[in-house]
């Protein structure tokens, strides 16, 4: 059985690289039972999206200047 700590590591790794089907399966099974990790996944995905949005905006502002 994987702990919430293992799952949170896999979830954050999954943002940067493609997980193997076994890892994705592990995460999915765990998320079905664990609200805490489901919320963690939602939050990390939201933060990642917001961060990307922010750097994109910054980049286009820099482009306009030059």
Residues making contact with Zn ion (CB under 5 A)? 4, 34, 37
Residue 11 burial (CB < 10 Å; 0-12/13-18/19+)?
Answer: buried
Q: Which two tokens stand for residue 54?
A: 């922010």
Q: How far is the CB of 40 from Zn ion (least distance, A)?
A: 8
Q: How far is the CB of 4 from Zn ion (least distance, A)?
A: 3
Task: Pick between residue 4 and residue 47 the one whose CB is nearest to Zn ion.
Answer: 4
Considering only CA atoms, which of 18, 46, 1, 53 is closest in space to residue 38? Answer: 46
Q: How far is the CB of 6 from Zn ion (least distance, A)?
A: 9
């Amino acid at each position: 059985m994987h702990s919430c700590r293992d799952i949170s590591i896999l979830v954050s790794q999954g943002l940067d690289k493609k997980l193997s089907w076994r890892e994705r399966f592990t995460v999915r099974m765990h998320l079905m039972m664990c609200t805490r990790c489901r919320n963690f996944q939602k939050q990390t995905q939201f933060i990642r999206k917001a961060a990307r949005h922010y750097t994109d905006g910054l980049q286009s502002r820099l482009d306009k200047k030059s």
